[in-house]
Amino acid sequence: MSPTTTGPDATLREGELLALRIARRDPTTDADVRWETYQVPYAERMRVLDALEYVNERLGGDVAYQWFCGARRCGQCAMVVNGRAQLTCWEPAERTMTIEPLRNLPLVRDLVTDRAPYEDLLRALDPQVKRAAPYAGFPEPLPDMPDVNTLTACIECLACHSECPVVTSGDRSFLGPTAIVQLGRFVLDVRDRRDLDGVTLTDAQVARCQSCRACEAACPAGIAIVPAAVEKVRTKIRAVTGR
Amino acid sequence: MIERLAADVVVIGGGAAGANAALKARALGLEPLMLVKGFLGRSGGSLLAAFLVMPTPPKNDRRAELDAAVRYYNHYLADEDYILEVQRYAREEFFPELEQRGLYIRREENGKIALSPFGSLGIMSPGKYGDAGRLVMDLRRKEVFGQGLRVREQTMATAIVVRDGEAIGVCALDLLTGRLLAISAKAVILATGHTDQLATRATGTRDQCANGLAMAYRAGAEMRNLEMQWWHANDIKSPASWSRVQTYPNPLLGTKEVARHYNNRGDMFFDLHAAPGSPAPYTLQLRRLAQQVQQGLARWDGEYYASYSHIDPAPIRKYNLVADFYDKLGLDVGRDRVECAVTWHMRQGGINVKPLTMETNVEGLFIAGAVGGHTLGNLVYVSHDGQAAACRSAERARRAKAVALTDAEVDREAARVLGFLRSEPRDGVQPAALKREIRQVMWDHMGYVKSEAGMRAGLEKIERLRREKFPRLRLATTSTRWNRAWIDALDADDMLTVAEITIRSSLHRKESRGPFYREDYPVTDHEHWLRHTILRRDARGEPVITSAPVNLKWVTPPAKQEDFFKTDY
């Protein structure tokens, strides 16, 4: 007898059929989304990703989706499930699931989206520690940095980027929640002395956040993005630039 | 249709070994090109490295470190000169360089590095324990792109082109567009990591489908000790996709305690502190689990449990990623046990290389990292290898002339790759289903407990899959745009090849050693088997096995023969 197998998915029984409705589309050939449905038997603690794997390995589904680690590290398996962006290796399978690609990114095929716009945005921010003082040798004297540690948990799955209403509105001056979290990792690092008044980082890129916290509900790492990243980065920018 | 490219050095693989190779090649003034099947730093095994280990004062005991590497991580199938060189690299280059670039190794509230003693070494991690690889690779990714290196992501190398015994280029497939690439190169560095997706439960990433080993084997490279395959005894049983979520037997961060493992009767059968001081608890843990399974007190696929209930949960939550996974399952890390099952893990064996220069028997083909058969590998080792491979390949690239690939050379590989792009026969086999069957055969016949009869039956099944199902592969669609089934078909070809040669190597070694256990030969027989198993293709394409001596001077086995179940390495 297994001592502990209860969890949030305890209402589903082993072998019970789950209904998956999956958005299929190749944007180079298909004008519209084609919906396909599959039935997948529930297995112990099944994740959404496990159900998709069953569709391809056992039902001949040939659905295009991306994943690498299956363990909340690679950040490449986020999709929209029942209307909400989520990391599919992390969230439990549900009795009925409508699965779509992430929003706010170009579609490659089916459930695969192109991360390039985000990666380009991030690269432009030069997200690496910009040292003020020369390196002192290993190990360098450093304090505990709890604010940085919190943001380091971000795996850049872009679930929050997909949920953000400001990003969805098409406001290109706004960085979006994922990029702000990544920026915060370096701006809040005691070693970093980047030019916050420089051309690439304006207050507006962060300030357009509406604090609706839709991003936080999607975050598989449980980061309180608005207080832990947006507000802290905003405070730091104001302290340095005097704006 | 075919895109032609040229580079001084082509680096295949986007993990720590590949990234370091490309960065070093650039530092030496070369023009490297990286080919990454998935995404740089995000799709390979480096991502899953849990922690960093380094020598910690006041011990700083190089002899103990050498002993740990030779005996406990490589079971005496090691090269001491290479290990000593990696030790130097760790101290003088790896840690200072990463920290200088901005890696933030987790500090305690008093500013000291959060550190757990582990034999002669110390365990530390950027972020939480469990996240080291992700954060090291995040840094490397930014460094590679920041320096403007040429990187083709979502591009799968499919063949190393060899002419007159020399590697002269690479053929690849752009997975986004379906376009074929023919790349001429003065040197090729293969850095594709472990072959983890070869069994039903596996610790690797989805992309680790033995492509590197298969490419090298087809190109004429020698394999070494392919049978030295590790299993994990402590990964979470369910959900299925979490088979690489580990309840480590090593010391945790933030506490002196370690996880304990219990059988189905509730008796503890493994606690590192109760074990006799082995710095490599993995193989020891497997042996203890094997004894539980023999007595019906656990199964290989479950009915044994990890527990942290004897430890203060606060430091576990603060410093260790495993607590998040517990929480997500609705379990209490301070109270509940979690069911575990065994998992196909890293491989000590791989491609045969000269470990100080990373040269193979194929001129112009270099190896970096875990795809090599020279060491088990961890982030430090494979980073070293990337640099070493870049240095020697630079010497070659400076004197070699670029040679264009001929149409015949490219067309041959193009025919193979495009040959899979078919939707007939209608009653054919889908590639994802064939991959699943291959992994099932390896799970059933090449598990931790092996025997002559079991392995022969497994080999027969693999050969039957090759003969009967592989020719009948069909894709649901012949679209060339991110057609996952096409990738799966290429993977299946490589997995069949590597499954076969892995079983042949395992049949050859008639003893038990380290992670390799044969119930028909339960003795570690140094007198006859302290040798490397070397496997290569002969002129007819058939595998041929020979052996080669080990290079050991300081660390040697204690006896000619040892009872396998009494060894601690």
- With 80 as the cut, is the pLDDT of residue B280 above it? no
The alpha carbon of residue B126 is apart from the nearest alpha carbon of chain A, in Å, by 9
Task: Compute CA distances B477 → A100, B414, B424, whole Å.
Answer: 20, 19, 10
**B182-236, pLDDT tens digit by residue?**
999 999 999 999 998 999 999 999 999 999 999 999 999 999 999 999 999 999 9
Sign of the CA dihedral B395, B397, B399, B400? positive
The alpha carbon of residue B176 is apart from the nearest alpha carbon of chain A, in Å, by 8
- Asked if residues B80 and B66 have their Cβ atoms less than 8 Å apart, the reply is yes
Separation between Cα atoms, residue B97 and residue A135, nearest integer Å: 10
> What is the structure's pLDDT at B409?
97
> Quick one: DSSP state of residue B565?
G
CB contact under 8 A, B107 and A191: no
Length in residues, chain B: 569
Contact residues, chain B, for A138 at CB < 8 Å: 95-96, 99
Show the beta-strand stretches assigned E in B72-191.
116-118, 121-124, 150-152, 155-163, 166-174, 180-190
> What is the structure's pLDDT at A205?
84
Which segment of B60-64, B157-161, B422-426 scores lowest on mean pLDDT?
B60-64
Q: Which two tokens stand for residue B425?
A: 């026969």
Region B148-170: mean pLDDT is: 97
**A104-149, pLDDT tens digit by residue?**
999 999 999 999 999 999 988 888 898 888 999 999 999 999 999 9
In sequence order, which ranges of B7-127 are alpha helices (DSSP H)? 16-27, 62-67, 80-89, 95-100
Residue A68 is nearest to which of B38, B99, B128, comparing CB atoms? Answer: B38
Comparing CA positions, the residue from A182, A167, A191 lying closest to residue A228 is A182
pLDDT: which is higher, A241 or B128 = B128
- Mention every residue, 6+ apart, whose C-beta is less than 8 A from residue B347: B194, B195, B226, B228, B229, B230, B370, B376
Separation between Cα atoms, residue B429 and residue B474, nearest integer Å: 6
Most confident of A8-22, B45-59, B498-512: B498-512
* Whether this model's pTM surpasses 0.90: yes
pLDDT over 70 for what percent of chain B? 98
Torsion-angle region of B157 (φ positive above 0: left; ψ -120 to 50: alpha; else: beta): beta
Comparing CA positions, the residue from B173, B232, B207, B188 lying closest to residue B39 is B207
Separation between Cα atoms, residue B126 and residue B108, nearest integer Å: 12
A40 half-sphere exposure, CB direction, 13 A CA radius: 30
- With 90 as the cut, is the pLDDT of residue B295 above it? yes
In sequence order, which ranges of A77-176 are alpha helices (DSSP H)? 116-124, 146-152, 159-163, 165-168
Show the beta-strand stretches assigned E in B319-363.
337-347, 350-351
- With 70 as the cut, is the pLDDT of residue A7 above it? no
**A177-210, pLDDT tens digit by residue?**
999 999 999 989 999 987 665 535 666 788 899 9
Q: Is B538 exposed, middle or buried (0-12, 13-18, 19+ CB in 10 A)?
A: exposed
**B398-439, pLDDT tens digit by residue?**
999 889 999 999 999 999 999 999 999 999 999 999 999 999
Interface predicted TM-score of the whole assembly (ipTM), two decimals: 0.96
Comparing CA positions, the residue from A147, A164, A155 lying closest to residue A220 is A155
Contact residues, chain A, for B135 at CB < 8 Å: 152
Kindly give the pairing relationship between strand B121-124 and strand B52-55: antiparallel
Contact residues, chain A, for B483 at CB < 8 Å: 64
Contact residues, chain A, for B305 at CB < 8 Å: 3
Region B262-275: mean pLDDT is: 89
Q: Which two tokens stand for residue B564?
A: 């396998």
Provide the mean pLDDT of chain B: 95
- With 90 as the cut, is the pLDDT of residue B260 above it? yes
